[in-house]
A and B are shown apart, each in its own frame.
Chain A
Amino acid sequence: MYNLIGAGLIVIGAGIGLGQIGGKAMEGIARQPEASGKIQTAMIIIGALLEGLAFGALILAG
């Protein structure tokens, strides 16, 4: 039961984080479209790091 609540909290946290990353990357691309390639790469890396953390926590929770 508690691990399900924990899993929910993890997903909420990861969702907020991914939203921040995606949103900020969009803003960056809108400001400087010519840098979109670099911004995308950085976005994917940060997203992957966040995902690794979230998955690690989810496996511990499950």
Chain B
Amino acid sequence: MINPTIMRNTLLFALLISLINVNSLFAVAGGSEEGGQINTKEEINEYIQHHLQDSHDFTFWTNGKTGSHIGFHLPVILWSDGLHVFSSGKFDYGHEVAESNGKYFTLYHGKVYETNADGEINLDEEGHATNAKPLDISITKNVVGMLLTSLLMFLGFISLAKGYNKRSIPKGIGRILEPLVIYVRDEIARPNIGSKYEKFIPYLLTVFFYIWILNLLGLTPLGFNVTGNIAVTVGLALITFFVTQFSGNKDYWKHIFWMPGVPIPMKIILMPIEVLGMFTKPFALLIRLFANITAGHVVVMSLIALIITMRSQFGIVASSSISFGLAFFITLIELLVAFLQAYIFTMLSALFIGMAVEEHH
């Protein structure tokens, strides 16, 4: 049933991804060799936590031995009584205090705080910083990922749309995109939304490809974790929420506030439940995407980290082969999950929109 070429290419892709991923952590592991067994567990934990978070620098890997980072700096844009724009190189990965227009900023646990010239961070009893936080609208790593995805989608779909002027069959990358576009239209939008589906196709297509490409980027060693960031999924779910509410017709609101066909006491009981339902639907949407992608990243990184934890027992060759084998199969599953989560998000968005625009008789 599945085309053997597609299967072979998928396997090759997963192989490549897991190879590079294993390789990049290998560089990190090699660096901390001097430290021996000291705090390996905490080090790995910190490494995974660091990967899951957004960052002001784009780091490919860190040499633990020399502490040098390979990557590039990103622009920091802050608003605090005026605009402050400077390169994140000024922070030097949190070691330095950055000065801009007479104000001092310090990077503390990945967040920017306003400090004095010495970079003093005041902590409360629970260890949270109490310094003033400027409005941070920097181009962080996640923003780079989103811009990259937007650019890829823009180029791909513009070329696909232009191709139809010349010939009826797309060529190049359009051959991959066209069946997916038709799939979203015929299998997701039409059956779930009904006759008014055309108005919502642009949104559904955008959200589908956006999530899918971001999920796939997250599997590459570039180290993006965009869809595994709760702020991003909240944004996506909010758009679905507003699209649903604003396209809701009279029947939809009637079913929420004054359910027809049930006795009056029941109407009163149902009203708060239905109002709550308006919010729980997109909430489940955002939690599902966030938790799935985060869990996937943690599993892949933990399996790769087996190289370090098993090295003392099995030696470097055996531990890397075991880790590579496991990471390879999980990567295959993650490729499926990447698609499935994009599909589910689009499908449920279509379902919710369909509920709102449905015609009752």
Contacts and interface: CB of A to CB of B under 8 A. Distances in A.
**Same assembly:** yes
Contacts of B284: 49, 52-53, 56
Contact of A58 (B285, B291, B340, B348): B291
Interface residues of B, number: 14
Contacts of A41: 187, 347
A30 B336 CA distance: 24
B212 to A, nearest CB: 15
A52 B351 contact: no
B347 A52 contact: no
A59 B287 contact: yes
Nearest to A56: B287
Nearest to A55: B291
Contacts of B340: 44
A52 B237 CA distance: 13
Contact of A56 (B187, B283, B344, B348): B283
B51 interface: no
A60 to B, nearest CB: 10
A15 to B, nearest CB: 15
A59 B291 contact: yes
Contacts of A56: 283-284, 287
Interface string A27-60: 0000000000000010011001101110110110
A49 B281 CA distance: 9
B45 interface: no
B291 A44 contact: no
Contacts of A55: 287-288, 291-292
Contacts of A49: 284, 348
B11 to A, nearest CB: 23
A48 B344 contact: yes
Contacts of B347: 41, 44-45, 48
Nearest to B347: A45
A13 B170 CA distance: 47
Contacts of B285: 52
Interface string B37-68: 00000000000000000000000000000000
A55 B187 CA distance: 26
Interface string B346-360: 011001000000000
Interface in B93-137: none
Interface in B241-294: 283-285, 287-288, 291-292
Contacts of B288: 48, 51-52, 55
A56 B292 CA distance: 11
A14 to B, nearest CB: 12
Of the candidates A41, A49, A52, the one having the most CB atoms from chain B within 10 angstroms of its own CB is A52
B180 to A, nearest CB: 16
Contacts of A52: 284-285, 287-288
Nearest to A45: B347
A55 B283 CA distance: 11
7 contacts: A45-B344, A45-B351, A49-B348, A51-B288, A52-B284, A55-B291, A59-B287
Interface of B: 187, 283-285, 287-288, 291-292, 340, 343-344, 347-348, 351
Q: Which 4 A-B pairs have the closest CB atoms?
A: A52-B284, A55-B291, A52-B288, A48-B344
Interface of A: 41, 44-45, 48-49, 51-53, 55-56, 58-59
Given A44-B340, A44-B347, A56-B287, 19 more contacts: A41-B347, A44-B343, A44-B344, A45-B344, A45-B347, A45-B351, A48-B288, A48-B344, A48-B348, A49-B284, A51-B288, A51-B292, A52-B284, A52-B285, A55-B292, A56-B283, A56-B284, A58-B291, A59-B291
